[in-house]
Amino acid sequence: MRPVSYSRAADVSGAVQTVTADPLSDFLAGGTTEVDLLRQNVLSPRRLVDINDLPLTAIEELPHDGVRIGALARMSDVAKSGMVRERFPMVAQALELGGSAQLRQMASMGGNLMQRVRCGYYRDAESPCNKRDPGSGCSALEGVNRTHAVLGTSDHCIATHPSDVAVPLMALDARVHTQSTDGERVYDFDSFFRLPDDSPHREHPLGHGELVTSIEVPGTPLARTSLYLKIRDRASYEFALVSVAAALSVDRGAVSGVRLALGGVATKPWRARRAERLLLGAAAQRENYARAAREELAPARTTAMNAFKVELAQRAIVRALETLTQPGSPA
Ligand code: SF4
């Protein structure tokens, strides 16, 4: 690990200017991923600008039942927020399933969206990896790839996006606000996460020094009837093999509103738009849920080890939707 200079930023514009001025500098928030990667020589910035003193921790009410979450709000605080729990239960559930209590108290919401992939080859500085070292190759394509993605992959990278909370935020059409030396910008959630295509090292559209300042979650009555289902190899502190964020409303037996997104199966938080289109207006029944799930997974591209994810994801979608429509559910 090479020497790193460290400073604490006192305001947003100062932080943005300092990082923008040095191409080998980076922001430091909760540090729950970044410090590991520094130790493993995966990241090697010359300068770290600690942003933990910036006033970006608020969880604020927006008109029409929306919520604005500061980029430095801790995962644990957002999960505890009454507003979030009532309006977006799937967001609170994803946060609670997203890591240990200690990690949730340190990790920031902005950092969660920016976290790096958990592909073992990315973290092994000796292995070819297009994401860490562009053009070097992808060791996972013919390597150990049981946990890797089946949707949104390319011949250059098949790493799964690791975030839990990004999955319900994708279903909710959240927006990401940023600040750069050129001013403020707003990204819709889908465009904030790039597919790997032929440049997997570019995971977001942000310029160097562009800082995530908040996440805006638009209100929708639909989200009050929502859940986050996470399937993993062990019951605690494990990344998702498959996860589903689902919100559903039913009117006279037919689906009148639906939001669906998948985690653990794709190279970015995956909005299940094919399934949503098929479900809207269809009878709220298991066979329609299963048909929509099959269609969503139809473009899946599997490897020698991860083909099981296709059926697992289909079953998880059906289970999530059935749970929302069973007697006693508020749907
Ligand atoms: Fe690197 Fe992506 Fe291949 Fe993993 S899957 S080795 S992160 S290029």
Answer whether residue 285 shows pLDDT above 70: yes
Instruction: Give this prediction's pTM.
Output: 0.95
State how far the alpha carbon of 215 is from the alpha carbons of 64, 119, 138, 154, 165, in Å: 16, 26, 32, 28, 12
Nearest CA to ligand 1 atom 1: 129
Return the domain boundaries, the chain: 224-324
Q: How many CB atoms lie within 10 A of CB 102?
A: 11
Q: What is the pLDDT of residue 31?
A: 74
Query: Which residues are near ligand 1 (CB < 6 Å)?
Result: 117, 119, 121-122, 129-131, 138-140, 157-159, 200
Q: Which residues contact 256 (CB under 8 A, 6 or more apart)?
A: 249, 250, 280, 281
Confidence of residue 36 (pLDDT cuts 50, 70, 90): confident
Q: pLDDT tens digits, residue range 232-267?
A: 988 777 889 999 999 999 999 999 999 999 999 999
Q: What SS3 class is residue 243?
A: strand
Q: Are 9 and 51 in contact (CB under 8 A)?
A: yes
CA of 148 from ligand 1 middle (Å) equals 9
Tell me what the pLDDT averaged over the chain comes to.
94
Tell me which residue of 259, 51, 100, 74 sits closest to 169, measured CA to CA.
Answer: 259
Q: What SS3 class is residue 101?
A: helix
Alpha-carbon distance of 117 to 114, in angstroms, equals 10
User: Ligand 1, closest atom to CA 148?
Assistant: 5
What superfamily in CATH does domain 224-324 come from? CO dehydrogenase flavoprotein, C-terminal domain (3.30.390.50)
Q: Which of 117, 119, 155 to mutate for ligand 1's pocket (most ligand atoms within 8 Å of CB)?
A: 119
What's the length of the chain? 331
